[in-house]
Structures are given as C-alpha cells and as structure tokens.
Structure 1
Amino acid sequence: MKRITLILFLFVAFGVQSQEAEWLTDFEKAKKTAQKQKKPILMYFTGSDWCGPCKMLKKDFWQSEEFVAQSNDFVLLEVDVPFRLDVISESQMKKNKALQAKYNKEKSFPTLLALDASGRVKDKISAYSMLRDTAPYFAFIDKARSIR
C-alpha cells in the first residue's frame, strides 16, 4: 500500500511540475487559431540553443506557474532561430528566418511581440537581463490580453 501511495505521489508531483504552455510553430495556423478563438498572438523569437537570456526567460517566465496559468488567454507562437541544424527542420528554419526578416529585423533575442488575430504587431518587448526580473514581461502580457 505504501508503494502504491508513493508511486501516485510521484506521478502527481511530476505531472504538475512538467505542465507547460502549448506553443505553435506555424504562423498561418496561429493566425487561424487566433481568429477562431478571438485571442491575441504572442510571437516569441528565441535562439534556443545559443541565446543565454532566452534560456533564462524560458525557465523564469515561460515555465512559471503564473504564466502557464495565463497562457490560455493567447495563441502562442515560438519562432526559434537556432545555430545548430538539428534543432528544427530545414523547412521550419526557412519559415522562421522569413518571420524574423519581417517581424524582428533587429535580430534581437529574446523578443516578444503581441499581434492581433490578423498578424498585425500591436506591441513589442525585447531583451532579458541577468537581474532576471520578469515583471516587465508580466506587464506586457497583461496589456496584450486586451488585443483582438
């Protein structure tokens, strides 16, 4: 009986801990979903395999319980521009580079854009410091929540 209780406890503990927001990687699908659900899009530019601030932001903000709880208010779109060629497919890299050329010309990482359901940029926030202050990002999504 103790063994079953322990197994159930571990299952629940790891299940809760591994909850993450659901990210799309296709811009057209994100727009269709946003239009259908009447939600704003959060477009996140990251360099998942090389960008230190992106890795910190993922841990501190994107994987936080507070953000995960609010993530259903948005359609989430991750635009990864890694250095390594095995992180994403070649076709996905081409799509992501095209999105970067249009929406992140400065090539600033991390960058988060708030878009309406048609894909028009309404707001933007860039950078993440070693101070690991997530307050500006939470303020950004609070503001973005009203975009339609």
Structure 2
Amino acid sequence: MKYLLIIAFLGLSTSTYAQDNDMFLNWLTNVEEAQKVSKKTNKPILLYFTGSDWCSPCKMLKKDFFDSEEFRKKSEEFVLVMIDYPRRTDIITPEQFAYNKSIVAKLNRSRTFPKLLILNHNGKPQDEISGYSSLRDTSNHFAFLNRNI
C-alpha cells in the first residue's frame, strides 16, 4: 500500500510540474506597469498580443516558442507583457478585457495575432514580428529576440 501511495504521489507531482511553462515566466498584463519596471531594470519590453482561446497560430507559438527552455532563458532580458484578446468571457476580467482592447487599438491596429512588439521604457515601439507559420519554425522569433537584447 505504501508503494502505491508513493507511485501515485510521484505521478501527480510530475504532471503538475509539466503543466504550464507560464508559471515560470513573469508575464505582466499592463503596459504602464511594464514601463516602470523597464525604467528600473533598463530592459526592453516584449509585448505579446494573443488570442489565447481562438487563434491557432497563437496556440502553436505558445507551445513551440514561449514554452521552450530557450525562450525562458532569453525572457530574462525583457519585461514581459501579454495582451490577451480572447473570445470567451471567462478567461480574463471585463476590466482587463477593456484595457486589452484599448492596447490593441493603440499598438496593434492591424489586429494581427500573434504579434510581438519591442517597446522602449517610454512605450514607444522599436521592432515587431507578426504571425506564425504552420511550418512551426521559431528561428525568426528567436532572431527577433536576439536583435533586441
């Protein structure tokens, strides 16, 4: 019986650990807050526009790029901001959705998803990359990060 409990515990602990890489990343959800952090740390802001529940390229990019160990290491060089634009109303609060909608209107007028922007500490866009191919090649996204570190 003891061994059965140990095996069950180990199985649960490893499945919990493997769930979501987002818990290891410090994603902010407010650009103004990110600007304050950026000024203090002298790091550029990496702003990520996603449609987490409806955008297939966003889901693929999350799995292939954002959930990778390589991204986790490079993310330390940036202040991370995620602006989610979901269709389901239970994913984020109505206040957060209204805020995200205003940021999309201001910084992602083309409404391209996924889209990554590099902002300076004043919130001015410096560089961007949009979309993600079904070929699932993340080399352009890593090159984008590398040229903005």
Question: Fold match, TM over 0.5?
Answer: yes
Tell me the CA shift for residue 11 of structure 1. Answer: 4.7
CA distances 1:95-131 after superposition (whole Å, capped 9, x unpaired): 1111111100000000000111111100010000100
Aligned to 2:59: 55
Aligned to 1:70: 74
Q: CA RMSD in A?
A: 2.1
Aligned to 1:124: 128
Q: TM-score, normalised by structure 1?
A: 0.88
Tell me the CA shift for residue 64 of structure 1. Answer: 0.3
Q: Structure 1: which amino acid aligns with 2:61?
A: L
Cα distance between partner residues in 1 of 2:42 and 2:18: 28
Tell me the CA shift for residue 15 of structure 1. Answer: 3.8
Aligned to 1:24: 28
Alignment of 1:94-133 (within 5 A): 94-133=98-137
Q: Structure 2: which amino acid aligns with 1:123?
A: D
User: Cα distance 1:99–1:10, how it changes in 2: closer, same or farther (>3 A)?
Assistant: same
Q: Structure 1: which amino acid aligns with 2:98?
A: K
1:87 aligns with 2:87: no
Q: Structure 1: which amino acid aligns with 2:57?
A: P
Structure 1 counterpart SS, 2:49: strand
Runs of 4+ in 1 over 4 A off after TM superposition: 2-14, 16-19
**How much identity, in percent, do the aligned residues show?**
47
Q: TM-score, normalised by structure 2?
A: 0.87
Unaligned runs of 5+ in 2: none
Cα distance between partner residues in 2 of 1:37 and 1:9: 39
Question: Which among 138, 141, 144 is matched to residue 142 of structure 2?
Answer: 138
- Give the paired residue count: 145
